[in-house]
Amino acid sequence: MEMNSKNTAPVGVFDSGVGGLTVAREIMRQLPNENLVYFGDTARVPYGSKSKNNIIRFSRQIIRFLQTKNVKAIVIACNTASALALETVEKEIDIPIIGVIVPGARAAVQETKNGMIGVAGTEATIRSETYTKVIKSMNPDAVVIGKPCPLFVPLVEEGFAKHKITEEVIDIYLSDMKKTDIDTMILGCTHYPLLRSRIIEYFGEKVHIVNPAYETAMDLKSILEKKGIANQSGKPAVYDFYVSDAAEKFTQFANTILPYDVAATKQINIEEY
């Protein structure tokens, strides 16, 4: 089969910062042939405390930047941007674009036995009720209990995922949810999969934990195949990393979570796009 440039073009992945690397990591695992251009908006992170208007503006700028790299598809790895901007920006571009909310919600709806689903995320994600709306569109009888857990993000970024302080913070945020009958919980923020084992420990076996990053990579695979734009060149994938600030810090963090040596990260001025 003739391979055209659309097939070998990279997939754009973006996030408010480093957290989206949990999604990039899943794409690298499940789609090892795909080239990636990752953008982390480290100058303007966190998105979780920002307004919808700004999150849409930031997302538009990043999409314009990624399009200069000729991406064939875009993954919004950030739950907050998926919750607040995807609906708007998907109408404005003519390449496939997906977020993490629909794949995560679908997995939870498939997994739950009693229809009671917990969602942990940023303030903006939980306030938007996007997870709730998407879950209810799939199962109108579902009960969704959302909880903002803003301190999880700095704890992960400080390298405190295994620290005992994290156990206390998990308890402060999630003790009310633990008292409910939820049998499924969505890790609705890019950083939370890095606390997955701590959260599993906290809830015990009765609660199934959904990582939307995993489901999103599966969705991307099926979209690229359906559209006939999957990369089957067999060449080693190329990964490029861009940020809007503090490239070195990003590279350090990336090297703690990616199964791949990130040699360098380029800094760009995202406000120019």
Q: Choose which of 95, 109, 153, 195 interacts with ligand DGL (CB under 6 A).
A: 153
Give yes or no for residue 244 binding ligand DGL (CB under 6 A): no
Q: Which of 31, 73, 78, 213 is catalytic?
A: 78
Nearer to ligand DGL, 78 or 119 (CB): 78
- Is residue 149 part of the annotated active site? The answer reads no
Give yes or no for residue 125 binding ligand DGL (CB under 6 A): yes
Per-residue string for binding with ligand DGL, 35-64, x by CB under 6 A?
----------xxxx----------------
Stretch that binds ligand DGL, among 73-81, 88-96, 208-216, 235-243 (CB under 6 A): 73-81
Give yes or no for residue 75 binding ligand DGL (CB under 6 A): no
Q: Choose which of 24, 31, 71, 78 interacts with ligand DGL (CB under 6 A).
A: 78
Whether 54 contacts 80, CB under 8 Å: no
Give yes or no for residue 190 binding ligand DGL (CB under 6 A): yes
Residues within window 104-123 making contact with ligand DGL, judged by CB under 6 A = 122
Residues within window 10-29 making contact with ligand DGL, judged by CB under 6 A = 15-17, 19
Nearer to ligand DGL, 119 or 229 (CB): 119
Which tokens is 189 given?
A: 């923020």
* Site residues, ligand DGL (CB under 6 A): 15-17, 19, 45-48, 78-80, 122, 125, 153, 189-191
Residues tagged active-site: 78, 189
